[in-house]
Structure 1
Amino acid sequence: MPSTASHPDAIIETALRLPFQFDPARLEEDLARINSADWQAHFNNSIYRGDWSGVALRAAPGGHMALYSDPAADTWADTALLEQCPAFKEVLESFACPLTSVRLLRLGPGAIIEEHRDPMLGVDYGEVRIHVVIATNPNVECRLQGRPYHWAAGECWYADFSCTHSFVNRGDTERVHMVLDCKVNDWLRGLLTQLGEASLPRMPLIKPAPLTIPKQIETLDDWIMLKERVALMRAEKCCLAHERIKSENGVPARNTSAEDGFCRIGFCSREIRDHQLGCAHTMVRYQLQDIIRALGNSDIMTAEDSTSLEQLLDSAGNEIQFMDHRKGTAEKHYAILHEQLNNPAMQPSEAALLAASEQIAAIDIQHGAYVKQIGSIRDRVLAYLEAGIARESAV
């Protein structure tokens, strides 16, 4: 079992070192039990360069992406790999709270995970992410809201990963973390409170969006207001997760009142959708479009540039709308096949299950590409607004 210790200096600006110290040698022994063929490339391939791969230790039964921490899943189970790793099992047993997804995530030499946020994580959301360092080297760095950290083997760390963070491995050996997604219960809340979690920075509360966008940008206040609004717009890949079908005891959940008979995870809150440019059910893209038109009426952006950006945004938005319908259909098809696994007379082939899973993954990749395109449009709009502010400030 791990040793525990008091950490009077545990509050380290943007992260907390939890009072657990696991034996690095035993962790390395378990890591050696993992075969090279067991590692899978991380599905979020838009934010990293090099080798970022993982192995699931706990996953949703029947899920088509074992590394995905599925918000729709109600059931989680240890994988066969975990049963082979006694030290890893002891790590999990140290947490007196419900564990959902648990993964080993490997960052190869020279690999980079770019700055990003993991939405809907944090004490306020009822689920947090904790890192246990399995293997590292002196040239591995984590940045949390711009603050650099080096975490040593055997250490255990908490941060609000809905804030911006990144990782880089400049060394010659791999970095491996065990990443645990934990439901917040009284035990975990008490531990984090005792260590000073409330003093850590959180994602700022999102300000209400302006109700109207001016057709003409006339004053410095107009320029600043629009820049603040666009700066709050997020271009983050969500994999259209609202279309995911919930799972109960490893079986797709049914809902007789739903149109297609399945229970889906459903929409994010209105507050989140109001700022997510990649969401299929948001009005914020129309606000960005109105801002582009207002810029086109100024002498900061030409009418040709305005029309071009509008068309690009409209095209990407339409594709996301169509993709939403395809994702819903693909998820239903996969769920029906998964139900048929329990019916000897209708059992689908492994090829059919794989094809259904790959169809969902392909839609997720396409969605990520369009979200990235919309993010570049947002960045260009921000640059125009900043130029307008600079000009007006100089008058």
Structure 2
Amino acid sequence: MDQASPSVLELDRIKLPFSFDVEKIFAEVKALQLNHFEYYDVISLRAPAHLVDPSLPFPPPAEDYADGTWCDWMDTNALKKSPYLKSIVNQFQEHTTVNLVRILRLAPGANVKEHTDPTLGLHIEKSVIRLTIPVLNENTQFFLNKEPVLMKPGECWYLRLTDPHYILNPSQTERINITIDMVPNQWVYELIENSIL
């Protein structure tokens, strides 16, 4: 990377060198027989282990929940039924710790108000980062720092979500995306840094 290039910590959006099969993802999402919903729907694919298996002990209180080490994480039944989604998660688990993984659905005509996620950025000590894979986003607009992020289905993006962001879905179809939270290690830093155009 040349010296004039921006630092990975300076950029609020970076497209990563992955391309996932949207048809396979969408088929597995549909196979989960998701319910009708109003406004926003979340389906956990990886979650705190004690929530997936209630026989496991509740973890002790933590001083800091930001880095995800306050509990063990486990695949949910939804992920176990979804081999292609599982292969995507495994692709990252081979290199780092993957915590929360979710399918997020935003209803037609719904918006997400501007907000920040204070622990989701590479520049935050003891944080996790969130990768976003759009699945269905016809006419959906994702704004980060007031600027649109032009994400196409099947792409994979790192977004600095500690910055203000909001979503508009003026379309007649729901917006679906996959989010993958992971612990940033040397592999993650190098992946993101090498993805800077």
Q: Could you state the TM-score of these two structures normalised by the residue count of structure 2?
A: 0.79
Question: 1:140, 1:51 → 2: CA distance?
Answer: 14
Count of paired positions: 170
Superposed displacement of residue 150, structure 1: 3.0
Of 24, 31, 43, 2:29 maps to 31
Question: 2:30, 2:104 → 1: CA distance?
Answer: 14
Question: 2:187, 2:25 → 1: CA distance?
Answer: 25
2:157 alignment counterpart? 157
Question: 1:196, 1:156 → 2: CA distance?
Answer: 13
The list of structure 1 runs, each at least 4 consecutive aligned residues, that deviate by more than 4 angstroms after superposition, is none
Superposed displacement of residue 74, structure 1: 2.2
Residue type at the aligned position of 1:54: V
- Whose RCO is larger (CA < 8 A, sep 6+)? 2
Question: 1:120, 1:83 → 2: CA distance?
Answer: 28
Q: Does 1:80 align with 2:68?
A: no
1:99 alignment counterpart? 98
1:114 alignment counterpart? 113
* Structure 1 stretches lacking a partner, 5+ long: 1-10, 42-49, 65-69, 198-395
Superposed displacement of residue 97, structure 1: 1.5
Matches within 5 A, 1:262-273: none
Question: 1:123, 1:14 → 2: CA distance?
Answer: 10
2:49 alignment counterpart? 61
2:40 alignment counterpart? 52
Root mean square deviation of aligned Cα? 2.1
Matches within 5 A, 1:247-258: none
Question: 1:52, 1:150 → 2: CA distance?
Answer: 21
Q: Could you state the TM-score of these two structures normalised by the residue count of structure 1?
A: 0.41
Contact persistence 2:49–2:71 (CA under 8 A): no
Superposed displacement of residue 196, structure 1: 3.4
Question: Which deviations, in whole Å up to 9, do the C-alpha atoms of 1:351-378 show, x marking residues without a partner?
Answer: xxxxxxxxxxxxxxxxxxxxxxxxxxxx
Superposed displacement of residue 14, structure 1: 3.3
* Structure 2 stretches lacking a partner, 5+ long: 1-7, 53-64
Matches within 5 A, 1:202-351: none
Residue type at the aligned position of 2:113: E
1:353 alignment counterpart? none
1:134 alignment counterpart? 135
| Structure possessing the higher radius of gyration over alpha carbons | 1
Richer in strand (by share): 2
Residue type at the aligned position of 2:17: P
Richer in helix (by share): 1
Residue type at the aligned position of 2:42: G
Q: Does 1:15 align with 2:13?
A: yes
Contact persistence 1:140–1:150 (CA under 8 A): no
Superposed displacement of residue 161, structure 1: 0.2
Residue type at the aligned position of 1:135: L
Question: 2:189, 2:14 → 1: CA distance?
Answer: 13
Question: 1:165, 1:188 → 2: CA distance?
Answer: 23
